């Protein structure tokens, strides 16, 4: 391996981590909205499910499309996580130095990095469980089947924690990417950074609210499944 090639590897890895992070964050921005279609009623969520199964394109349902999507997301997820762990201080010594640094400078953006480490770590487990379930049971998605999984399948506690982790992680990640790549920098760097932080906070609040409201709706449908006509609840 030439010297030049060697020195390019960290930059390449860094770029790949940013790119996979960007794609995952954009996926989540869409995901919470699509799955939040339940807020408009079971029929809206049913239409969304049909759309992702290619029904409007092929005239019949192909849940395998969802499996394919889940495989793509899993690959991004694994690559992103593998590249991210390299940056986590792996020894106590390093962690202590880091903590002292944080205390001394009181740098908010460094504590944002810490939030990324904690939420990212939690998602190794929580995210994997969910993606795998979606990958292997793509035909079991829909207003009533999802609600059943949320309540009877005891997914609501996992979703509740995962919601906070993923929303924080995605929007803090986008904010940090915007700073790193100098998007929307404008003339006054400090001012645009302040504005971006405000947008980040607002987006986190809005997405948590939509997520909580959707989860509450799935729970309420799930608790009332006995009163749902069988032909509606089953495919
Ligand atoms: C292609 C892959 C994915 C598919 C098809 C999918 C699909 C779904 C569906 C249908 C629900 C509704 C509940 C249910 O049916 O169990 C849901 C909920 C949820 N998903 Fe995903 N998901 C995917 C990937 C992810 C990933 C990668 C994350 C984050 C790491 C995530 C986070 C969540 C959260 C937090 C909820 C609960 C949302 C709420 O509180 O309203 N999902 N997902």
Cβ atoms within 10 A of the Cβ of 6, count? 9
Cβ–ligand 1 distance for 159 under 6 Å, the answer yes
Structure tokens at 220: 């309420």
Residue 1, pLDDT score: 46
| Minimum CA distance residue for ligand 1 atom 10 | 141
Instruction: Say how many Å lie between the CA of residue 31 and the centre of ligand 1.
Output: 7
Q: Where are the domains of the chain?
A: 8-89+107-233
> Which of 221, 217, 226, 207 shows the shortest CA–CA distance to 31?
207
Against a cut of 0.85, is the pTM above it? Answer: yes
Instruction: Say how many Å lie between the CA of residue 26 and the centre of ligand 1.
Output: 14
| Minimum CA distance residue for ligand 1 atom 31 | 127
Structure tokens at 102: 């944080």
> Which of 140, 220, 130, 217 shows the shortest CA–CA distance to 166?
130
Q: Which atom of ligand 1 is nearest to the CA of 127?
A: 30
Query: Tokens 């829909």 correspond to what residue?
Result: 142
- How does DSSP classify residue 228? S
Residue 231, pLDDT score: 60
Q: What's the CA gap between 98 and 84, in Å, rounded?
A: 17
**Centroid of chain to Cα 99:** 27
Instruction: Say how many Å lie between the CA of residue 65 and the centre of ligand 1.
Output: 15
Instruction: Say how many Å lie between the CA of residue 229 and the centre of ligand 1.
Output: 25
- How does DSSP classify residue 178? H
- How does DSSP classify residue 137? -
CB 156 within 8 A of CB 163: no
- How does DSSP classify residue 142? S
Instruction: Say how many Å lie between the CA of residue 130 and the centre of ligand 1.
Output: 7
Q: Which fold has domain 8-89+107-233?
A: 3 helical TM bundles of succinate and fumarate reductases (1.20.1300)
**Per-residue pLDDT tens digits of the chain, which is 235 residues long:** 445 556 788 889 999 999 999 999 999 999 999 999 999 999 999 999 999 999 999 999 999 999 999 999 999 999 999 998 887 765 556 767 777 776 665 567 778 888 999 999 999 999 999 999 999 999 999 999 999 999 999 999 999 999 999 999 999 999 999 998 888 777 888 888 999 999 999 999 999 999 999 999 999 999 999 887 656 665 5
């Amino acid at each position: 391996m030439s010297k030049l090639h060697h020195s390019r590897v960290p930059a390449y890895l860094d770029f790949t981590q940013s790119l996979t992070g960007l794609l995952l964050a954009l996926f989540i921005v869409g995901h919470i909205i699509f799955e939040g279609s339940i807020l408009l009623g079971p029929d809206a969520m049913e239409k969304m499910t049909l759309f992702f199964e290619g029904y409007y394109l092929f005239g019949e349902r192909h849940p395998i499309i969802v499996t394919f999507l889940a495989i793509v997301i899993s690959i991004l997820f694994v690559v992103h996580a593998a590249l991210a762990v390299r940056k986590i201080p792996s020894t106590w010594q390093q962690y202590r130095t880091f903590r002292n640094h944080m205390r001394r400078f009181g740098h908010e953006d460094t504590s944002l990095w810490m939030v990324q480490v904690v939420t990212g770590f939690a998602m190794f487990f929580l995210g994997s469980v969910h993606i795998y379930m979606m990958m292997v049971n793509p035909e079991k998605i829909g207003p009533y089947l999802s609600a059943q999984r949320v309540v009877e399948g005891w997914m609501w506690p996992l979703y509740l924690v995962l919601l906070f982790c993923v929303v924080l992680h995605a929007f803090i990640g986008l904010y940090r990417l915007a700073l790193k790549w100098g998007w929307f920098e404008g003339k006054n760097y400090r001012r645009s950074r302040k504005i971006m932080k405000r947008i980040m906070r607002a987006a986190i609040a809005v997405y948590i609210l939509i997520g909580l409201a959707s989860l509450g709706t799935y729970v309420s449908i799930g608790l009332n499944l006995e009163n749902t006509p069988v032909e509606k609840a089953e495919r």
